[in-house]
Amino acid sequence: MTEKIYTTKKTGMLMLFVIIFGLIAATGMILFGFIGGVNGALGALGILLWIILPICIGGLKVLKPQEALVLTLFGKYKGTLKGEGFYFVNPFCTAINPAQFTQLGQSGDISGGGGLLGALTKGGSGKETTAEFDAQMRASKKISLKVMTLSNSKQKVNDALGNPVEIGVAVMWRVVDTAKAVFDVDNYKEYLSLQADTAVRSVAKIYPYDIAPNVDTTGDGEADDGSLRGSTELVAARIKEEIQKKVETAGLEIIDARITHLAYAPEIAAVMLQRQQAAAVVDARKMIVDGAVGMVEMALDKLNESDMVDLDEERKAAMVSNLLVVLCAGKDAQPVVNSGSLY
């Protein structure tokens, strides 16, 4: 289905005045025609106007900026009304918006939650349920053309190594083709939400949570350093591209996608934290040992340059051992002064 613009002038205000004055005139015709006994045909004309003019009220449409109405006439698509203003269209045209009552916890949705079915089945007092039902029934059939944000609930997926990971994304999107959004899919909001979930799952399984050896995330056959935690911009861009390909048929445009939540699943979070702590301890110890070896080498070089003392290989080994113990120990050294000879 291809979108076509419903061509009409902004004559809504003029038609409103015509309808009001027509109803006033019809009332006068009825009064003079039947009650005043002037002319029965005049009264019949007044009754006819009272039947026709209220029907014309249904053709008055008000649009605000970045709003659209998809109009059908007896089941046939007539066009999309766009642009802010007060319009008058064929009163028998009906507006269609299949996502009218759909609420996904995103910007642009009407207040409340759970949709029309939720309003009918939600527990609580009868006053609250009735009020929510009334709010749902007053929901406009207009389609918003603004940029909206979809923030789906976080979902549990497996990364490239099979570790369970919780991830959530926020998707900025808008409707660009109202005809496709209304007629090519059953409900474009639910369709977008489902495609966002599947895109996140398909992209997340390509990357490990953290940098891992022998993992190819780009598809070039070579291992790289890509990861969910370290390559968030790249991952978000791939998620955006994946969603865009899936929602093209629904007339939607994905503006941006961002990762809003990323963490190991609770069942392995504690173990992974211990693993990270152990890796941090190993890295720290490695740095300490490298620094201690460098300091020992410097000390030996300084002693050889100054000819302060002549050390044989056995004494050098003892000195290196003592220095490494002092420099690599986690506690302050307790020196022992030896006033005698080593032999």
Tens digit of each residue's pLDDT (9 = 90 or more) over 196-206: 999 999 998 89
Which of 53-62, 74-83, 125-134 shows the lowest mean pLDDT across its residues?
Answer: 125-134
Q: What is the mean pLDDT of residues 66-82?
A: 93
Mean pLDDT, rounded, for 28-39? 75
CA atoms within 13 A on the CB side of 313: 0
Asked if the model's pLDDT at residue 11 lies above 70, the reply is: yes
Closest CA to 249 of 317, 325, 169, 195: 195
Nearest-angstrom CA–CA distance, 103 and 96: 17
CA atoms of 126 and 75, how far apart (whole Å): 37
Q: Distances in Å between the alpha carbon of 319 and those of 259, 308, 325, 335, 340?
A: 54, 15, 10, 13, 16
Domain boundaries, the chain: 1-95, 101-139, 147-264, 275-328
Identity (one letter) of the amino acid at 77? Y
Q: What are phi and psi of 272, to 5 degrees?
A: -65, -30
**pLDDT score at 78:** 92
Mean pLDDT of 84-104: 89
Q: What is the pLDDT of residue 37?
A: 62
pLDDT of residue 110: 45
How confident is residue 184, by pLDDT bands cut at 50, 70 and 90?
A: very high
pLDDT band at 86 (very low <50, low <70, confident <90, very high): very high
Q: What is the mean pLDDT of residues 170-182?
A: 93
Q: What is the pLDDT of residue 325?
A: 72
Please indicate whether residue 129 or residue 84 has the higher confidence score (pLDDT): 84
The CATH fold assigned to 147-264 is Tetrahydropterin Synthase; Chain A (3.30.479)
Task: Give the mean model confidence (pLDDT) for residues 61-84.
Answer: 92
Supply 236's token pair.
Answer: 């978000």
* CA distances in angstroms from 212 to 166, 228, 268, listed in the order given: 18, 11, 17
Q: Is 6:80 a contact under the CB 8 Å cutoff?
A: yes
Looking at residue 126, its pLDDT comes to 47
Residue 172 confidence (pLDDT): 94
Mean pLDDT of the chain: 81
